[in-house]
Amino acid sequence: MGGAFVAAAFLARLGGRIGLPTIPLFILAGILLGPNTPGFVLLEDPHDLEMLSALGLVLLLFYLGLEFHMDDLKTGGKKMAVAGCAYLALNVGAGLGFGFALGWGTSEALVLAGVLGISSSAIVTKILVDAGRIGNPETKPILGIIVVEDIFLALYLAALQPVISGSESAGETAWQIAKAFGFLLLLAIAARWGTKLIGRLFAIKDDELLVISFLGAAVLVSGIAEQFGVADAIAAFMVGLILGNTANGERIRELVHPLRDAFAAIFFFGFGLSIAPGDLPTVIWPVLIAVLITVVMNVGAGLFTARIYGFGAEPTANVSTTLLARGEFALILATMAAAAGLDERLSPFIAGYVLILAVLAPLVAGRSHWLAKILPGGRNTPGEEAAAIPEPEPANSGR
């Protein structure tokens, strides 16, 4: 773990000197020091960091929930739902069509629909934080789309597992979906009507006890959510949403910063450990085609979202580029596909596709003004200086 922190910090500092974002550099550190790359191997088994990586994802989404206010859901819930469903329809639909076009099989096509269709909540969150865009008007619909994606993800995983494994009945599938939906409904009820009661429980003056309390709540609820077939990410988001609307919401935001930054680095480092660069040449052309499809679909989804919200070219470009990354969910699908004995080309394809977009998304998000110039109304966008990613603020700045 110490080696992972040091390696990630070293590469990130080097990259910072030439203006590179931290995410691809954390991933690169994992690739270089992982078991799939010649040379010094820091960790033989990527699963050794699995729990720490999971904690990084939970803290990233918990922080995202803290920044998301109930008033945003009350005033813009319908628009967010429409934007999220449109995003899924475009990207999941394109992924399914691409999967069938490859001819690898029906189960493989269903897996690829999820791989191409769902953004990486962790990378999207990190981009928003690093870019200083949490307060931007287009960030609310981006977060809304992420929430819709995570809800879809919970139901999709519950339905996909028996389909690709062929081991469970339709009744068992329906039961898994019902459990996931029921738990999500319970969290939504707590967020809507339980904030005052929960606020009293977290009315803690001592910082040490407050950290232990909110960290315990986020991790415990995320763990319980997994038992119900709900992604730990959406559960952590909901806990953050609830606590962010209590009287101590601002204090919690400040206290979670260093935890979020530290364990997010481990999450991306662990992501890099799982990538085998040597397998990529066998599927390079399908990977490049899939990346192009994803870019086109994201621009289309950005334009649709802009139409709903009345955004100009620059916010539209920010929506399109910020949601481009694919990550943790795709890797979960790769694991499921391997366990089910599906086409062996799926694993290197998913690894290559995710790696390219994980590196590409932060880079293009920081230069979204280039895309804005060619979108409708792009000639009126501000200069490049306003769109460039600034240096990340210190962890305790309380953005």
Q: In the prediction, which pLDDT does 367 show?
A: 84
Cα angle vertex 338, ends 328, 336, to 5°? Answer: 50
The radius of gyration computed from the CA coordinates of the chain, to the nearest angstrom, equals 20
Contacts of residue 318, defined as CB under 8 A and 6 or more positions apart, other chains included, come to 133, 136, 138, 142, 365, 368
Report the 10 Å Cβ neighbour count for 82: 16
Pairwise CA distance, residues 366 & 206, whole Å: 38
In this structure, the dihedral spanned by the alpha carbons of residues 306, 311, 313 and 315, taken in order and rounded to 10 degrees, is: -90
Pairwise CA distance, residues 220 & 223, whole Å: 5
Domain ranges of the chain: 1-374
> pTM of the entire structure?
0.72
SS3 364: helix
Note the maximum CA span of the chain: 60
- Burial environment of residue 92 by CB neighbours within 10 A (0 to 12, 13 to 18, 19 or more): buried
**Whole-number Cα distances in Å, 209 to 173, 255, 262:** 41, 11, 20
Class of domain 1-374: mainly alpha
Q: In the prediction, which pLDDT does 162 show?
A: 67
Q: What is the pLDDT along the chain (399 residues), one digit of tens a residue?
A: 888 889 888 888 887 777 667 777 888 888 889 888 888 888 888 888 888 888 988 898 788 788 776 665 566 678 888 999 999 999 999 999 999 999 988 889 999 999 999 998 878 888 888 888 888 888 888 988 888 887 787 678 767 766 776 655 667 767 777 777 788 788 888 887 888 889 899 999 899 999 999 999 999 999 998 888 777 777 888 899 889 888 888 999 999 989 988 888 888 888 788 777 887 888 899 999 999 999 999 999 989 988 888 888 888 898 999 999 887 778 778 777 877 788 888 888 988 898 888 888 888 888 888 888 888 766 654 544 343 444 444 444 443
Q: In the prediction, which pLDDT does 165 show?
A: 63
